[in-house]
Amino acid sequence: MTRRDLIAGNWKMNATHLEAIQMVQKLSYRLDPADHERVDVVVCPAFTALRSVQTVIEADHLRIQLGAQNVHWEESGPYTGEVSPLMLSRLGVRFVIVGHSERRQVFGEDDTVVARKLKAVVATGMTPILAVGETLDQRDRGETDEVIGAQARTALRGLDADQLGRMAVAYEPIWAIGTGHNADPDTAAAAALVIRAVVSELGGLEAAAAARILYGGSVNPGNISAFMAKREIDGALVGGASLDPDQFAAIVRYWV
Ligand code: PGA
């Protein structure tokens, strides 16, 4: 089973729609068709920039794919300030990050909310990028496998084998996000194995062999190739370094 690489840029709450247009254009100049043959390249701008970035992608026939950073689980309704999966999918959004630690920690999203969102994204035909990861305290207490296993299991339970096989799950240790201290590639690969075992437990070996497991947390052009060299790691979820088109392109072209 060969899994296609997936490298996604999470722009978080950065870039106005005008800046986002420039960023996606610059990124596109730095990538060539061969890169897209090898890697699914995804950018996840803020909601306010999705339409602008989508317009550039369509007008310039770019192979960069559009992702969103968050979503609500209902299709419509009295949910002031929320954005539905249907709204995203009609905009051409293909990927949605679900359960990012900033959503869990700052906005109080628990595993139940994450599971609902994930199912709504799948039901709308988009691909979730489920983020799971432990805190430094949990790691120090030796609870990493248990924590990420439980997060993955709660979110993914109820999906069928086919849906599980099309999932992307990002292992994002919280202590590595935005800190400049990336996880050791062996540590990340071990966590990816734990996540793949959960997919296997829920959906069987074929689903587990097809699902893509990413690493996220202080990924940069200097460390990406060590992660991608691990058989268990199929890509990356990139925060800070994805804001700079030069750096993000260098991450996408990790083999160069
Ligand atoms: P970082 O963020 O690359 O800036 O550490 C990763 C993430 O939050 O997805």
Going from the Cα of 178 to the center of ligand 1, the distance in angstroms, rounded, reads 5
pLDDT tens sequence across 18-40? 999 999 999 999 999 999 999 99
pLDDT tens-digit map of 177-189: 999 999 999 999 9
Which of 44, 130, 171, 238 for mutating ligand 1's site (highest number of atoms within 8 Å of CB)? 238
Residue 1: is its pLDDT beyond 70?
A: no
Residue 13: give its domain's CATH number.
Answer: 3.20.20.70
Which residue's CA is the closest to the ligand 1 atom numbered 7?
Answer: 239
Write the residue with the smallest CA distance to atom 1 of ligand 1: 239
* pTM for the whole structure: 0.97
Question: Does 116 score more than 70 pLDDT?
Answer: yes
Residue-wise pLDDT for 44-102, tens only, equals 999 999 999 999 999 999 999 999 999 999 999 999 999 999 999 999 999 999 999 99
Element (H or E) spanning 154, and its range?
A: helix 144-156
Q: Half-sphere exposure (CA, 13 Å, Cβ side) for 49?
A: 25
The catalytic position among 72, 100, 102, 109 is 100
By most ligand atoms within 8 Å of CB, the mutation choice from 100, 172, 214, 251 for ligand 1 is 172
First-to-last C-alpha distance (Å) of the chain: 24
Contact 27, 242 (CB under 8 A): no
Ligand 1 pocket, residues with Cβ under 6 angstroms:
10, 172, 177-178, 216-219, 237-241
pLDDT band at residue 2, thresholds of 50, 70 and 90?
confident
Structural domain boundaries, residue 80 = 5-252
d(CA 57, CA 187) in angstroms, rounded, equals: 36
Task: Please give the tally of structural domains in the chain.
Answer: 1
172 is catalytic: yes
Per the CB < 8 A criterion, the answer to whether 42 and 66 are in contact is yes
- Tell me which DSSP letter residue 101 carries: H
